Amino acid sequence: MKLLQAVTDPTYDPTYEKTAYDGFWLRFMNDKRDLPFIHLLTIIHLTVAPIAILLFTNVLTGWAWWLVAAGYFYISQFYFKGRFGLMFHCLCHRKTFKTSYQNKFHFYITWLVCPFFGHAPEGYFSHHLGMHHVENNTEEDSSSTMFYQRDSFRSFLSYFFNFVLLGFKETFQYLYDRKRKTLYTRFTLGEWLYILFCIGMCFVNLKATLVVFVIPLAFARFVMMLGNWTQHSFIDHTNPDDIYTNSINCINTKYNHICWNDGYHIIHHLRPGMHYTEMPNEFWKRRNEFAEKKAIVFDGIHYLHVFIYLMTKRYDKLADNLVNINGMFDSREQAIQLMRERTKRLAS
């Protein structure tokens, strides 16, 4: 186990020297700390979007097309996917642009940029803010991990396919029952228009549609379910509603530097609207509360590591990277036992 020492994850750098390009965008923005989002979106518009369009043309044929397609898929789905997805997560929780521009900006990102990364328009926002943060992974949440054995790959597959097959229905039903008409209408419209769009584009160029839109859709849902599974793998059976003990934090990892401190999942559920640059300091302020609750915090690893260690039942590896805040665990064995208990399936 590790001691809680300095937190090295990104915070706002007040010494950053803004460029003329930054100055242009700041006229429309609410928060200068969101400039990295503009930088990322600019690069995406200069790389991902043009290459995707190129794949639908007749400029490339044969092996040249497949070579570019392979490069495109790597860049869009492995290099940019996490960065964009977690940036969009931040954009959903906070208003990036001033009031007169915000709705247009959000619509543009949701409907025109998200599909390149496998996100059906309106689906993520409706599910994540309309349900997941309201229910905090409890039984009413269609993506809840509570009723699965969370160190079992077979159980994860059951969780994944259940969400793929029933997630839309259950999320729609949740929003409909609570009379959240705007959300369930947008959710339904976005999902079905995206499916119809993909079907139509298959008649234009089948292989390009598969590479640019269809496969990324399946991949995105797998990645999101893997992420949610890992973030909510450790749940205290005696109090499953407690945010401190139904989620985890991953600190001091390179992942937080490229994915906007996404490792601070406990903090995010406690303070959903908090700017990502404030999360490391917020965690430090709350460290005593983390210790009192025996909250699960890992140092130096991220969600993919945690997922792999859970699937292979390597609790020893998890213990190696577990932070023993304020000596909350008397021994390594006690920590492993607690982690094993918290991954057990809850009775439905």
**The pLDDT value given to residue 347:** 81
The answer to whether the Cα torsion of 279, 285, 290, 291 is positive or negative is positive
CA 98 from centroid of its chain's CA atoms? 25
* Residue 174 pLDDT greater than 90, yes or no: yes
**The pLDDT value given to residue 326:** 96
pTM attached to this predicted model: 0.95
Secondary structure class of 297 (helix, strand, coil): strand
Measured distance CA(331)–CA(48) in Å, rounded: 49
pLDDT, one tens digit per residue, over 146-171 is 999 999 999 999 999 999 999 999 99
CA 124 from centroid of its chain's CA atoms? 10
Q: What angle do CA 223, 272, 281 make, to 5 degrees?
A: 100
63 confidence band (pLDDT: 50, 70, 90): very high
Measured distance CA(296)–CA(58) in Å, rounded: 52
pLDDT, one tens digit per residue, over 127-137 is 999 999 999 99
* Mean pLDDT, residues 257-286: 98
